[in-house]
Structure 1
Amino acid sequence: MGAVVKTLGVAADKDTGVAVVTLDRPHRLNAIDLTMRDELIETWRELRFDTTVRAIVLTGAGDRAFCTGLDRDAEVPQPESPYMADDPLLHVGPKSNDLWKPVISAVRGMACGGAFYLLGESDFLVADTTASFFDPHTTYGMVSAYESVLMALSMPHGEAARMALTGSAERLSAERAHSIGLVTELTEPGGALAAAIAVASVIAGHPPEGVQGTVRALWAAKEAALRQGFAQAPHLVSLGNLPLDRQADLFHARRPGFRLR
């Protein structure tokens, strides 16, 4: 059932029409390196053509994290120009790859930083009670630009602002995420994947043309705001990010502990 590649697992159930895509780097808390980035892009684009797949569940391997964003050891070359910046995760999500089949994220453990590129392009989230959400950018001298835009369109503005501005000092609990609508269903520990597959199976049982048109319509409701926000992001990142060596100093000097709310 399915095929496993280096950093990504893909399993499709032809009977239900549901594919499960698994971020499979648990030893790195499912952080996205450039190999995983490329495999995600390839997977989303392949799923566009697989008519047996009518709904997708995205999850992370292991019980510690859904995804912790970009792997800090990933070497991302940048052009030497203030007018050109390459964000390695900008096109890592399903919508960015023109996939209009429903994608449901099943979250267990931490989801932070660059994970929001994936969560922000999911149609909705299911989480278990171990899930937590936070954005460490400001703690390490970085601007949360793309991530904040995506989250501001997925949760109340004040919650998105507080999460982005408090950095790694606070984490949004699964219960709080559920109460504000970021998470649509909360399960017992270990139950998020099964719950996500169950609802994906229901959706996959509907005629796909209507489902995919509805996904496209829902995304259109926030697409203009997303495009406008993203247009500002490269300039804000260029202006506000500390040099990489200073970011590394702050990362290594970080204090353990956080407030869960």
Structure 2
Amino acid sequence: MSPVVSPVAVEKDKDSGVAVVTLNRAGRLNAVDLVMAGQLADVWRGLRFDDSVRAVVLTGSGERAFCTGIDRDVVVPQPSSPYMQDDPLLRIGPKASDLWKPVVAAVRGMACGGAFYLLGECEFVVADPTAVFFDPHTTYGMVSAYESMLLAARMPYGEVARMMLMGTAERISARRAHEVGLVSEVSEEGGALEAAVRCAAVIAGYPAEGVQGTVRALWAAREAGLAQAFAQAPHLIALGNLPAERQAELFRGRDRTAPRIR
């Protein structure tokens, strides 16, 4: 029998105080299924109690993608009421699990759609030159709600609006993402993980209380606005999303031509 591969891998370096959390579904472009969503929440909660870990790096396995959002094969049963929408991705970020240790993202390849639930809850992003960012929701008849709200707190309004509204027709390069503030550093090719770990190791070397308090303060500056925005998201999604069958039809008929990268 083939060994069972965990969809989330964790490596801890006790000397540096850095843990590397890896999305480990490269064959599915690190798309999030329900098992991965549950494991991510467990990992973040577990790191809260591990005092040997003082900083975290989040990355994706393989070269093609950091994460491509929720796996399209996942079926999430929904209540009939627009006031009670279930979104498993709301539980996958570190802040959602009350983790206030700094998390640095290392992105290689595609980061799109539901990947922004993760990137939106990281302190900063280091990108490989191959990294590209986009959101396919509008192309397939879906509302980009939580993704837009999280990125609106990190990027200029016009840049977020263009990314979300252009759907699959455009992708933002690592260079452009750096120019607009989504990415803090563009590494040499293949060097994003190393660069992110280097930053995390520096942060982990500082007194933990001051670091964690700073992370909490930074998030406090954002969370009131996000909480108000998130309260509107379920209704917007319920009103604006096409039926699942129509979304699937649009996905099957998607344009295979190469998107514009800017």
Corresponding residue for 2:127?
A: 127
State how far apart, in whole Å, the 2-side matches of 1:142 and 1:74 are. 16
Per-residue CA deviation, residues 154-208 of structure 1 (Å, 9 max, x unaligned), is 1111100000000010000000001111111101221000000001000000000
Residue equivalent to 2:70: 70
Q: State the number of aligned residues.
A: 258
Unaligned regions of 5+ residues in structure 1, if any?
none
Equivalent residue runs for 1:80-99 within 5 Å: 80-99=80-99
Superposed CA deviations along residues 191-226 of structure 1, whole A, max 9, x for unmatched, are 000000001000000000000000000001111110
- Scaled by the length of structure 1, the TM-score of the pair is 0.98
| Counterpart-to-counterpart distance in 2, 1:228 and 1:197 | 34
CA distance in structure 1 between the partners assigned to 2:26 and 2:5 by the alignment: 14
Tell me what 1:145 maps to: 145
The residue number in structure 1 matching 2:111 is: 111
Q: Secondary structure at the match of 1:197?
A: helix
Counterpart-to-counterpart distance in 2, 1:45 and 1:25: 21
Q: Which runs of 4+ in 1 moved over 4 A?
A: none
Deviations 1:96-134 (A, max 9, x none): 100000000000000000000000000000001000000
1:82 CA drift (Å): 2.5
Matched AA of 2:255: R
Residues 1-261 of structure 1 mapped to structure 2, 5 A cutoff = 6-256=6-256, 257-261=258-262
* C-alpha distance in structure 2 between counterparts of 1:5 and 1:232, whole Å: 37
Structure 2: which 5+ residue stretches go unaligned? none
RMSD after superposition: 0.9
Partners of 2:5 and 2:158 lie apart in 1 by: 39
CA–CA distance in structure 2, aligned partners of residues 49 and 5 of structure 1 = 25
TM-score (norm 2): 0.97
CA distance in 1, matches of 2:177, 2:10: 27
**Which amino acid in 2 is paired with 1:258?**
P
Inter-partner Cα distance in structure 2 for 1:79 and 1:227 = 22
What is the letter of the counterpart of residue 34 of structure 1?
Answer: L
Pairwise CA distance, 1:80? 2.2
- Using the alignment, how far apart are the partners of 1:214 and 1:37 within structure 2? 27
- Partners of 1:83 and 1:204 lie apart in 2 by 41
Deviations along 1:16-59, one digit per CA (max 9) or x if unpaired, are 00000000000000000000000000000000000000000000
Distance of 1:82 and 1:113 partners within structure 2 = 21
The alignment partner of 2:90 has SS state of coil
What is the distance in 2 between the residues matched to 1:188 and 1:244? 41
Q: Matches of 1:193 and 1:15 in 2, distance apart?
A: 18
